[in-house]
Amino acid sequence: MGNEEDDLDGYGYGVFACLMVAKWLKDRNRARDAERFLKIALQQSDALYGESSPESGIVLLDLHDLFQEQSRLDEAEPAWERVRKILISGVGNLRNG
């Protein structure tokens, strides 16, 4: 994980801020704008924590849900597959740790 200055309860400030803005936009039926912020959050999370990190998994799950709510299943499926791989990896780490 990043250092304490870049971290806020497991998220970089930028990731956390993007997630909150995306939620705010989604709650106001601005899905396209919410998607943009979720994609930024995912890029930042991948860069800070790695593509297989639980942090990126949380962002991906939000992105998956947004796609699914819009019936964009062709985009939701790859996001879900990546979340699934992260979850499986995490369970394996718990068993081996």
- pLDDT, tens digit, for every residue of 66-86? 999 999 999 999 999 999 999
Higher pLDDT, 14 or 72: 72
What are the structural domain ranges in the chain?
A: 4-96
Identify the burial level of 39 via C-beta atoms within 10 angstroms of its C-beta, where 0-12 means exposed, 13-18 middle and 19 or more buried. middle
Contact (CB, 8 A) for 11 and 57: no
Domain 4-96, CATH: 1.25.40.10
- pLDDT, tens digit, for every residue of 22-59? 999 999 999 999 999 999 999 999 999 999 999 999 99
Residue 5 has pLDDT above 50, yes or no: no
